[in-house]
Amino acid sequence: MRLTRTLLPVMKESPADAQIISHKLMLRAGLVRQTAAGIYAWLPLGLRVLRNIERIVREEQDRAGAIELLMPTLQSADLWRESGRYDAYGPEMLRIRDRHEREMLFGPTNEEMVTAIFRDAARSYRDLPRILYHIQWKFRDEVRPRFGVMRGREFLMKDAYSFDMDEAGARHSYNRMFVAYLNTFARMGLRAIPMQADTGPIGGDLSHEFIVLAETGESEVFYHANWERPAALRHVDFDDVAGLRSIVSGYTADYAATDEKRDAAREAGAGDALRQSRGVEVGHIFYFGTKYSSAMGLKVQAKDGSEVVPQMGSYGIGVSRLVGAIIEASHDDAGIVWPDAVAPYAVGLVNMRADDAACATAADDLYARLRTAGVETLYDDRDERGGAKFATMDLIGLPWQMVVGPKGLAKGVVELKRRATGERHELAVDDAVARIAQA
């Protein structure tokens, strides 16, 4: 994409109302703009990051055997009366009346709706187990929205729901999502720590939050130093019940808990290895048995002809919040440092001297070559000084910068800079394109 053809309104100064670094950088780098309290528009660069995160979440859900569908944003109040949550849910639920005075709401979560859909579709044990998920905008009417997309009101969430014939099956579904989540976050370059957590308004008796360490996080967290090892992707067979169980046991062997779930004995056991920090919740999984299936009359026929009330769980990932969480975890004084997997473009191509015809021709040619090689490129072809272009590139944090200037051209080279390390190398044009195409 040529910068002269897109919309990238970067700002030199931090807006006064942004308190945390990710919020400041998202505004300065032109990723989002607030359109109402806690509600954001995603500008072109921000949308590309959001889509990359969404794609990774989707791929890992699919890999774990979950099935994608898409439920609407608006729900009928009657559905929530079936579970008893319509009156129980607090003022965070946005209640709406339509032109016929029917009571509706903007969905904050979808346990009721997915239970109704599954109740309509499933007849027997042949239709189970299933994990259904969707990636859809939700609304929670936070009393004081802040921290940008980290605690906004309209947010993009992946929520999955499992249906099993018995508790053993439900625990396997829970383990599927547990491992899928670790892989999902690892692919984004995040170390997310699963911590036993309260179940809150979802209910149930087993729950883990996945928490990314960040000084600006909303929760205080306690964990064993072993969790400071970098996250690694696990290649697993998601149908292997025992194998998955042992992976989850391994992961939960090291102590990690939020403030509400601290365990004095385990903390004493950790000794010097106990760490305290703050964290941002990026995922939350729940096993809640038949809470919704019982209340809403979901039953299926077992193999022996008897009726069974399916066991359920639900599994959320904060897709839009992850954009902020990744920036909290990956930035420096100059701006954002995107992990390759979620970066809006792989490389920023900078023509240092827009007024130099040879530079412009060489940069145009490089842009064409990079596109031919399938490299997602943002080409700063603006009529601006080199310094302003470098500052923009550092701010928006693309993993690579390729710089075309008159001195290099005279030698037949361009400069390649790795944003994360600041390392710079001069490379022949062909080598520079090949280097990035292979990255």
Comparing CA positions, the residue from 237, 438, 284 lying closest to residue 346 is 438
Q: How far is the CB of 71 from a copy of itself (least distance, A)?
A: 5
Instruction: Report the chain's terminal Cα–Cα distance, integer Å.
Output: 19
> With CB under 8 A as the contact rule, which of the stretches 36-44, 198-206, 244-252, 303-311 interacts with a copy of itself?
36-44
**By the rule CB under 8 A, 113 interacts with a copy of itself:** yes
Q: How would you class 49 by CB atoms within 10 Å of its CB: exposed for 0-12, middle for 13-18, buried for 19 or more?
A: buried
**By the rule CB under 8 A, 67 interacts with a copy of itself:** yes
Residue 340's contacts (CB-CB under 8 Å, 6 or more residues apart) are 189, 346, 399, 439
- Amino acid (one-letter) located at 249: S
**Binding positions for a copy of itself, 363-382, rule CB under 8 A:** 382
> With CB under 8 A as the contact rule, which of the stretches 96-104, 197-205, 274-282, 395-403 interacts with a copy of itself?
96-104
When binding is defined by CB under 8 A, the residue of 17, 81, 88, 102 that contacts a copy of itself is: 102
**By the rule CB under 8 A, 162 interacts with a copy of itself:** no
> With CB under 8 A as the contact rule, which of the stretches 93-101, 176-184, 259-267, 300-308 interacts with a copy of itself?
93-101
Buried b (16+ CB within 10 A) or exposed e, 178-203: bbbbbbbbbbbbbbbbbbbbeeeebb
219 φ/ψ angles, rounded to the nearest 5 degrees? -115, 145
> With CB under 8 A as the contact rule, which of the stretches 28-36, 249-257, 335-343, 404-412 interacts with a copy of itself?
28-36
Residue 370's contacts (CB-CB under 8 Å, 6 or more residues apart) are 347, 349, 377, 402, 433, 436, 437
Q: Which is nearer to a copy of itself, 141 or 340 (CB)?
A: 141
> With CB under 8 A as the contact rule, which of the stretches 123-131, 199-207, 273-281, 365-373 interacts with a copy of itself?
123-131
**By the rule CB under 8 A, 82 interacts with a copy of itself:** no
> With CB under 8 A as the contact rule, which of the stretches 27-35, 169-177, 186-194, 391-399 interacts with a copy of itself?
27-35
> Which DSSP helix (H) or strand (E) runs through 67?
strand 67-68
Half-sphere CA count of 359, side-chain side, radius 13 A: 21
**By the rule CB under 8 A, 154 interacts with a copy of itself:** yes
CA pair distance 324, 149, nearest whole angstrom: 6
Both tokens of residue 240?
Answer: 């292997």
**By the rule CB under 8 A, 43 interacts with a copy of itself:** yes
Q: Which is nearer to a copy of itself, 153 or 419 (CB)?
A: 153
**By the rule CB under 8 A, 336 interacts with a copy of itself:** no
**By the rule CB under 8 A, 74 interacts with a copy of itself:** yes
**By the rule CB under 8 A, 7 interacts with a copy of itself:** yes
129 φ/ψ angles, rounded to the nearest 5 degrees? -75, 155
Comparing CA positions, the residue from 182, 89, 188, 186 lying closest to residue 141 is 89
**By the rule CB under 8 A, 139 interacts with a copy of itself:** yes
List Cα–Cα distances, 415 to 400, 402, 427, in angstroms: 10, 6, 6
What is the pairing mode between strands 400-404 and 347-351? parallel
Q: Which is nearer to a copy of itself, 96 or 206 (CB)?
A: 96
Give the binding site for a copy of itself (CB under 8 A). Answer: 4-7, 9, 30, 33, 35-37, 39-44, 47, 50, 65, 67-76, 79, 91-92, 94, 96, 98-99, 102, 104, 106, 113, 116-118, 120-122, 126-127, 130, 132, 137, 139, 141, 143, 153-154, 382-383
